Amino acid sequence: MLLSYSIFCYNKIKGDMGMKIICIGNAAYDVTLPMNHFPIENKKTRLDNSRIECGGGSASNCAYLLAKWGMETYFGGAVGDDYYGNKIFEEFEKIGVNTKYLQKKTDVPTTSSFIITNTSIGSRTILTDKKKEMTMGKIDVDDKFDMIVLDGYEKEFALEVMKKNPKAIKIIDAGSMRESTLELARMVDYVVCSHDFAEEFTNKKVDYDDMRTLIEIYNKNKKEFKSYWLKKL
């Protein structure tokens, strides 16, 4: 949500709410389980509240929120031809996300994630079943975009869109240190990275009370990327 809001504010300040945006990456169906402590192994545990079910994934969430806030938004990715995949399509189309580049695959199930949230300390643990076969097939890109938002997945399609839209503003939400994420991060204008990405890339522990280490992390990233922002999650 932080990335989506930043993009929204950027366009609001510039007075250009007519920008055409495509978000490319993972589309999953999330089941969130709120608890007031982390579950103990081999014990029955009651949830704090009813579970929450909805579409998820960094790029997917970004597309949903930008469309909700009135921006022309497309999503590029893949889901299965199943219940969860249909739900993701329905949510996108209801909120106004253009699904022209969202493919349905008949041989791979939609990625699902179960998220355990510890409400007492604000932590989250994510269990996911994304298959390596859950990726887009070849698809022609015939739209012009002003902004491209990535999450490190669907690298080939992302490269194709960037090639056909060289003047677009390019942003990546770098959640984890995958090879594809690092490759794309070196090609975009802005890198918004997580704790995990920053720590794995720099081999340094992120501590917001240790200004010296934060400066070292900043300087190393500055050498690699055009511009980056460490999100506090």
Q: Bridge-partner residues for 34, per DSSP?
A: 117
Tell whether 226 is covered by a domain.
yes
Show the DSSP H helices in 1-124 as ranges: 2-14, 58-68, 83-95
Average pLDDT, the chain: 85
How many CB atoms are closer than 10 A to CB 107? Answer: 9
Range of lowest pLDDT (54-63, 126-135, 145-154, 200-209): 200-209
pLDDT surpasses 60 at 13: no
Tell whether 167 is covered by a domain.
yes
- Residue with more model confidence, 207 or 188: 188
Range of lowest pLDDT (68-72, 159-163, 192-196): 192-196
The one-letter amino acid code at 233 reads: L
Tell whether 118 is covered by a domain.
no
Confidence of residue 147 (pLDDT cuts 50, 70, 90): very high
Tell whether 121 is covered by a domain.
no
Tell whether 199 is covered by a domain.
yes
Instruction: Supply the pLDDT for residue 216.
Output: 81
Instruction: Supply the pLDDT for residue 191.
Output: 86
pLDDT surpasses 80 at 3: no
- Helix-, strand-, coil-residue percentages of the chain, each rounded to 5: 35, 30, 40
- Residue with more model confidence, 226 or 153: 153
Name which of 140, 132, 88, 77 is nearest 108 in CA terms: 132
Tell whether 115 is covered by a domain.
no
Q: Which domain holds residue 148?
A: 2-27+58-107+132-230
Tell whether 43 is covered by a domain.
no
Distance, CA of 171 to CA of 202 (rounded, Å) = 20
Q: Which positions ≥6 away from 226 have C-beta within 8 Å?
A: 188, 189, 190, 191
H or E, element range at 110: none
Number of domains in the chain: 1
pLDDT surpasses 70 at 16: no
Tell whether 100 is covered by a domain.
yes
Instruction: Supply the pLDDT for residue 136.
Output: 92
Give the CATH number, domain containing residue 215: 3.40.1190.20
Instruction: Supply the pLDDT for residue 17.
Output: 65
